[in-house]
């Protein structure tokens, strides 16, 4: 039996970071976790046509900061900001009715939508729900990803494809997908298309290149201390002491 690992969680702290950034313990942790999942479901349902890629949630001492990454920010913001103000009112009414909280909602644009696995999966789902042939849908999606500059892409669909009586799994692959390489920047998404024949699972892997130590952004840098050596000393600290001793001898 194969042991499958989520490509994003496998690279947390190296090339990927957490979509929720806060700290809590016990019952507060469970409450915030359930609330984060509900918040993401709310925005994905409300902004289904805006191609939402990611919802990042930051919490700190009564302050809630939410950033929505989307391929169509104009649909979220609306004319003169009317759309985002209406979205804020609906959000506060759904999650914090009658409460006063410090809340900020930001909208950021995805630079290359065809290199985002979530957006590509949403496009595949829309085409499948329109009853388009699945092979044509996969080929069109892979062509868009190739033109965007990806090094590899794999799309897998499973279910009653084209209304067949027996469910099966089909996949289309182009380029390379180094799933065991930690420095590989692989974007992954798993979603479901609700067709007339039933549910069809959609999985997308996109290989966008390698991220080396000197190229990582600040948010990718690990915050944990260095590994202790055999003498029980910290790696960085031991190097500092060696430098100081060499300087004193000079």
Three-state DSSP class for residue 60: strand
* Domain housing 91: 15-109
* Residue-wise DSSP of 121-172: HHHHHHHHHTT--HHHHHHHHHHHHHHHT-SEEEEEEEESGGG-SS-EEEEE
Angle (CA) 194-200-206 rounded to 5° is 115
User: From CA 118, how far away is CA 54, in angstroms rounded?
Assistant: 8
Residues 198 and 133 in one domain: yes
pLDDT of 27: 93
What pLDDT is stored for residue 213 in this prediction?
Answer: 66
Q: What is the pLDDT of residue 87?
A: 92
Which pLDDT belongs to residue 187? 92
Q: What is the CATH number of the domain that holds 148?
A: 3.30.1140.32
Question: Could you tell me if 168 and 99 lie in one domain?
Answer: no
pTM listed for this prediction: 0.79
Candidates 178, 183, 161; CA nearest to 170 is 161
How many residues appear in the chain? 250
Residue 227 lies in a domain: no
Domain end point (choices 66, 82, 109): 109
Q: Give the chain's domain count.
A: 2
Do 120 and 99 have their domain in common? no
Whether residues 64 and 155 share a domain: the answer is no
pLDDT recorded at residue 179: 87
Shared domain check, 187 and 171: yes
209-238 burial code (b ≥16 CB/10 A, e <16): eebeeeeeeeebeeeeeeeeeeeeeeeeee
pLDDT at 181: 86
Q: Which residues of the chain have pLDDT under 70?
A: 1-2, 213-250
User: Looking at the structure, do residues 129 and 196 belong to the same domain, yes or no?
Assistant: yes
Question: Which neighbouring-strand residues pair with 202?
Answer: 157, 191
Position 6 scores a pLDDT of: 87
Is position 150 within any domain? yes
Q: What percent of the chain has pLDDT over 70?
A: 84
Model pLDDT for residues 7-39, shown as the tens digit of each residue: 888 888 888 888 899 998 999 999 999 999 999
Query: Does a structural domain hold residue 233?
Result: no
- Give the Cα separation of 145 and 233 in Å (integer): 47
What is the CATH number for 89? 3.30.300.20
Contact 115, 149 (CB under 8 A): yes
């Amino acid at each position: 039996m194969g042991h499958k690992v989520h490509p994003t969680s496998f690279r947390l702290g190296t090339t990927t970071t957490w979509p929720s950034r806060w700290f809590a313990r016990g019952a507060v942790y469970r409450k915030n976790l359930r609330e984060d999942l509900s918040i993401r479901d709310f925005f994905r349902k409300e902004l289904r046509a805006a191609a939402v890629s990611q919802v990042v949630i930051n919490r700190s001492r009564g302050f809630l900061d939410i950033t929505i990454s989307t391929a169509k920010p104009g649909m979220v913001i609306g004319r003169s900001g009317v759309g985002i103000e209406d979205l804020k009112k609906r959000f506060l009414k759904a999650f914090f009715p009658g409460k006063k909280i410090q809340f900020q909602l930001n909208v950021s644009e995805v630079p290359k939508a065809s290199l985002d696995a979530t957006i590509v999966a949403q496009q595949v789902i829309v085409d499948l729900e329109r009853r388009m042939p699945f092979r044509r849908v996969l080929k069109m999606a892979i062509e868009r990803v190739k033109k965007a500059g990806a090094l590899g892409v794999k799309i897998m669909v499973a279910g009653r494809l084209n209304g067949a009586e027996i469910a099966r799994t089909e996949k289309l692959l182009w380029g390379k997908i180094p799933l065991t390489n930690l420095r590989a920047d692989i974007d992954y998404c798993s979603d479901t298309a609700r067709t007339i024949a039933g549910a069809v699972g959609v999985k997308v892997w996109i290989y966008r290149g390698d991220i080396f130590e000197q190229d990582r952004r600040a948010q990718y840098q690990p915050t944990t201390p260095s590994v202790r050596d055999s003498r029980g000393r910290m790696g960085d600290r031991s190097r500092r002491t060696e430098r100081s001793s060499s300087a004193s001898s000079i």
